[in-house]
Every structure is written in structure tokens, then in C-alpha cells.
Amino acid sequence: MTRLYMAGCGGMLGQAFFEEFRGDTDVRCTDIDVNEDWLEYLDFRDFDAYRKDVLAFSPDCLFHLGALTDLEYCEAHPDETYATNAMAVENAVYIANELDIPLLYIGTAGIFDGRQELYDDWDAANPLGTYARAKWAGEEFVAKNSTKYLICRAGWMMGGGPRKDKKFVQKIMRQLRDGSVSLNVVDDKLGTPTYTRDFAHNVRLLLERRWWGLYNMVCQGATSRLEVARALVTELGLDEVVAINAVSSDYFADTYFAPRPPSERLLNRKLALRGLDVMRPWREALSEYLRTDYSGYLNRP
């Protein structure tokens, strides 16, 4: 594949895909938020504009990357969420099928209800809130209607650095940069981190082998929010400076009111059976991420 069209490429995962493929592939990257000089404007909810731009580029593969990922925003804006996270995915399927090219869709661990501790590629989804329901609708549509597709499910995403990471690692890092010496972190949410750079590379390997289908794609090692926070503070050498207080999710109920499963832990069972799981242990990935993207970020003794 020599020409890739990446829609919704302005976020943390889009950054990783651009870095992974730009060296040896002709890429066109679009987003509604043009925050890089290598991005062009496109709202992929506009089917006619989306189709026109993709057909003009004539790619070998279509990556549909973007989504609304703030669960509280999604809960408060259901119509916008379904238009962005479900119906825009249908647009991508129609376009990829017209060109007879494969489609990459990014799934999420959030589609499960958390009643199990671990979920593999074949476990049944049961989405809880608006975000999860819309993402599951997108995944189902791709699987049922695409000619050739990859669905790669991510977990707790980390990547993109201070500019693009809007997830857990950046929220903790911002508190530390602001001088916090006491962090309240939930102890009742389980999951698996996903390092965007490893994710993008693992997708490349699947594309090169043309192994279509659905794959869980998360870092090795199940964990919790509390354990990730502790590992982050240790990696930064702040164990003696910063206290981490374990709290229940009820502590943040007013801020984080959208439904979340108690466990979003994924197993890369299918990747492992294929012999193609190159996702590193989450602690190793977190260490690299902090060294490469947050060097000099903390202004504290």
C-alpha cells in the first residue's frame, strides 16, 4: 500500500499514524481541527465532501480515525455523538466499498459492560452509555457491511504528548506540573493502556499481511487507574514527594457522570494466535512515552 487517506487525523492516534507511515507512504491527512501543517480540513460527517476528497486522492486504504471521546460530552450531546461516532463511520464504509479498498476503524474497550474481568476478541459487547453505544454501532456497521476491513480495539490511550493527549496520563501530568503533591485516583477502574506508537506499528504489520478482521490491540498487562498513576509517579522519581490517595469512582461522580464499566481489560488473543502481537508491556511503553514526550514538562524541584 503506497497511498493512505487518514480521516480524523488531528488527535493523539492520528499523530502516531502519521509518524509511522509518512516515511515510505503517500499520506493525505484530514481533520476538522487543523492543528498541524500536514493536515487539511475535512468534516467526515459531510458525506459528499468526504467522498469527493477521498476519491480525488485515490488511496489504497482508508483510515477512519476520528471520534468524539469525551464521555461526558457524548452523554450530554447524543445526536452529535451518533452523527460523529456512528453515521460518519457509515460514510467511510460506503466510500471504501466504492473504491474497493480496505477500511481501518478504531474500536474501543469501552463497548463492554465490565461484568467480566477480561475480554478477548470474541466476547460479546454490551455498551453502557452514549459514547460506547455509538462506537459499537460503528463497529457493527463496519463488520457487517465492509468488503475488506480492520477493526482494531484500543484501551486506555496514551500518546501525543501535552498538546494532544487528553486522557489519563496528561491529566495526571498537568496536576503534577501545577505543583500538586497529593493525587486522588480511583481504585475501582480496571483496564489496559494502549501506547499509540505501538498501536500504529501493529496496524502496519496487519496491513502488510492483509489479515483483515477484528483485533484487540492493547499493551501487555492488565492494570488499574491507581496502578498506572503509581507507576507514573515512580517513573518521574516523585515517590517521596507526591502522595497518591485511593478513592472510589463516587468521589468524582459529579465530574465524570457518564457510565463507565468497572473493567475494560482486553486480551490480544487473536494477535497472539497470529503470532503478531508486538504491543509492549504497558510499564515499558509508559516509560518511553514520558521520556520522549514529556521531557522538561514538569517545572518543579
Tell whether 91 is covered by a domain.
yes
Which residues form the domain of 32?
3-166+193-220+266-280
Mean pLDDT of 75-92: 98
The percentage of residues in the chain with a pLDDT greater than 90, rounded to a whole number, is 96
In this predicted structure, what is the pLDDT of residue 300? Answer: 59
Local confidence band at 92 (pLDDT 50, 70, 90 cut-offs): very high
Local confidence band at 299 (pLDDT 50, 70, 90 cut-offs): confident
Tell whether 181 is covered by a domain.
no
Tell whether 241 is covered by a domain.
no
Domain total of the chain: 1
Contacts of 292 (CB under 8 A, 6+ apart): none
In this predicted structure, what is the pLDDT of residue 301? Answer: 54
Residues in the chain: 301
Local confidence band at 159 (pLDDT 50, 70, 90 cut-offs): very high
Report the distance separating Cα 21 and Cα 4, nearest Å. 9
Whether the per-residue pLDDT at 47 is higher than 90: the answer is yes
In this predicted structure, what is the pLDDT of residue 270? Answer: 97
In this predicted structure, what is the pLDDT of residue 1? Answer: 74
* Cα–Cα separations (whole angstroms), residue 130 to 75, 112, 114: 5, 13, 16
Tell whether 294 is covered by a domain.
no
Q: What is the pLDDT of residues 171-226, one digit of tens each?
A: 999 999 999 999 999 999 999 999 999 999 999 999 999 999 999 999 999 999 99
Backbone torsion region of residue 231, taken as left when φ is above 0, otherwise alpha when ψ lies between -120 and 50, otherwise beta: alpha
* Cα–Cα separations (whole angstroms), residue 219 to 42, 58, 102, 191, 294: 31, 33, 25, 10, 20
Q: What is the pLDDT of residues 1-25, one digit of tens each?
A: 799 999 999 999 999 999 999 999 9
Read off the CATH number of the domain in which 105 is found. 3.40.50.720
Mean pLDDT of 272-297: 96
Tell whether 237 is covered by a domain.
no
Contacts of 163 (CB under 8 A, 6+ apart): 35
Tell whether 292 is covered by a domain.
no
